[in-house]
């Protein structure tokens, strides 16, 4: 990270450490939509980004946009403590294995897929939140670096994630994890991939104890109202979403393929219990909540939690401020509880 980037990071951290009253003065009048109020910290963070006049990721060529994602992730993620981190290979793919402090053998495991619209993101963009989840939940985490579009459009990411999950289950003893307490999870596009992996696991009879789905994208047809209500001004823009969809699914006929849009899937019996987190000011809010209802209708046990003052990408904000970090703490606690419940049920 350059000196300029470090100074920007210090500015963001300092602003979000101010008392709420001072943050409100800097952020401006409260923003209220759909009976929800945008969190003051979040509103201030958005304002700081505008003041900095950083180009929007979607306005950049994809290679430069990927670098911008890494820069932003580093600023808001910080350096989170972790017992140990190992670079590993899973199903021929680069992956990162996180071991929390004090964890013993036969522990639970989260198989994690990062967000980024199937075009952006990698192991580094989500390193901070993977460290945070591992330590807070007390579970090992394996993050998988699946192939990205446009270099590798659908079904590359889908195939990579399914194969990676199967390989991890097969090698559970090598990771010192209990194959009956393995969860699958991810955020945004990674949440999409986690849903379809969980569906395939149920169909194949592979162990899958829990789903951790953070504002998952589930409907490529973009038909839900929140797609329009929050299309601009709240981090995730319509243009960004279009770049992701058009590069991942280069044939619009794929938009209703259940491996792309799990909202259209015929859900199998035996689907793992799920925790679905959505953000109040997120274009993907409604489709994530609709998928939670679809799972319930299919007989799956689901806990659906909306964080009303949050925006898309709050999941990565664990290194500055306190509001988003507290929300991610709740998500990590749900992971811990979900795997503990699964263990008791064995």
Decide if 135 contacts 80 (C-beta within 8 A): yes
Q: 269 catalytic, yes or no?
A: no
CA 256 to chain centre: 22
Burial grade of 190 (CB within 10 A; 0-12, 13-18, 19 or more): buried
- Helix or strand (DSSP H, E) at 85: strand 84-90
Catalytic-role residue among 145, 237, 312, 342: 312
3-state SS track over 179-245: EEEEEEEEECHHHHHHHHHHHHHHHHCCCCCEEEEECCCCCCCCCCHHHHHCCCCCCCCHHHHHHHH
Q: 178 catalytic, yes or no?
A: no
Report the C-alpha gap between 134 and 183 in whole angstroms.
12
Q: Which residues on neighbouring strands pair with residue 143, listed in sequence order? A: 96, 112
Output the six-digit token pair for 200: 């395939």
Catalytic-role residue among 73, 125, 188, 342: 188
Output the six-digit token pair for 18: 């101010």
Q: 312 catalytic, yes or no?
A: yes
Output the six-digit token pair for 65: 């946009």
Encode 163-172: b = buried (16+ Cβ within 10 Å), e = exposed.
Answer: bbbbbbbeeb
Report the C-alpha gap between 118 and 241 in whole angstroms.
10
Three-state secondary structure call for residue 264: helix
| Residues contacting residue 159 through CB under 8 Å, at least 6 positions apart | none
Catalytic-role residue among 122, 187, 219, 282: 282
Catalytic residue positions?
188, 282, 312
């Amino acid at each position: 990270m350059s000196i300029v980037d470090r100074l920007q990071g210090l500015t963001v951290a300092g602003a979000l450490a101010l008392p709420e009253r001072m943050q409100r003065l800097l952020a401006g009048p409260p923003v209220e939509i759909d009976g929800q109020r945008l969190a003051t910290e979040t509103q201030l963070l958005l304002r700081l980004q505008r003041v900095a006049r950083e180009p929007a990721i979607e306005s950049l060529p994809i290679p430069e946009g990927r670098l911008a994602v890494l820069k932003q992730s580093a600023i808001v993620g910080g350096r989170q403590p972790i017992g140990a981190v190992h670079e590993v290979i899973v199903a021929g793919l680069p992956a990162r294995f996180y071991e929390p402090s004090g964890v013993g053998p036969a522990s639970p495991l989260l198989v994690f897929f990062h967000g980024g619209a199937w075009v952006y993101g990698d192991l580094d963009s989500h390193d901070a939140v993977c460290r945070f989840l591992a330590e807070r939940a007390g579970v090992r985490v394996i993050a998988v670096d699946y192939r990205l579009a446009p270099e590798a459009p659908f079904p590359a990411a889908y195939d990579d994630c399914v194969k990676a999950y199967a390989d991890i289950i097969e090698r559970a003893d090598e990771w010192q994890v209990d194959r009956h307490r393995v969860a699958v999870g991810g955020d945004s596009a990674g949440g999409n991939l986690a849903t379809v992996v969980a569906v395939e696991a149920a169909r194949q009879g592979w162990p899958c104890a829990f789903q951790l789905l953070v504002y998952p994208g589930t409907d490529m047809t973009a038909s839900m109202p929140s797609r329009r209500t929050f299309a601009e001004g709240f981090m995730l823009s319509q243009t960004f979403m279009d770049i992701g969809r058009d590069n991942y699914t280069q044939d619009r006929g794929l938009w209703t393929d259940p491996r792309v849009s799990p909202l259209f899937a015929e859900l199998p019996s035996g689907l793992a219990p799920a925790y679905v987190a959505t953000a109040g000011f997120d274009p993907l809010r409604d489709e994530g909540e609709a998928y939670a209802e679809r799972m319930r209708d299919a007989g799956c046990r689901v806990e659906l939690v909306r964080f009303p003052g949050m925006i898309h990408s709050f999941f990565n904000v664990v290194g500055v401020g306190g509001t988003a970090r507290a929300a991610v703490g709740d998500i990590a606690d749900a992971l811990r509880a979900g795997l503990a419940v699964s263990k008791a049920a064995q």
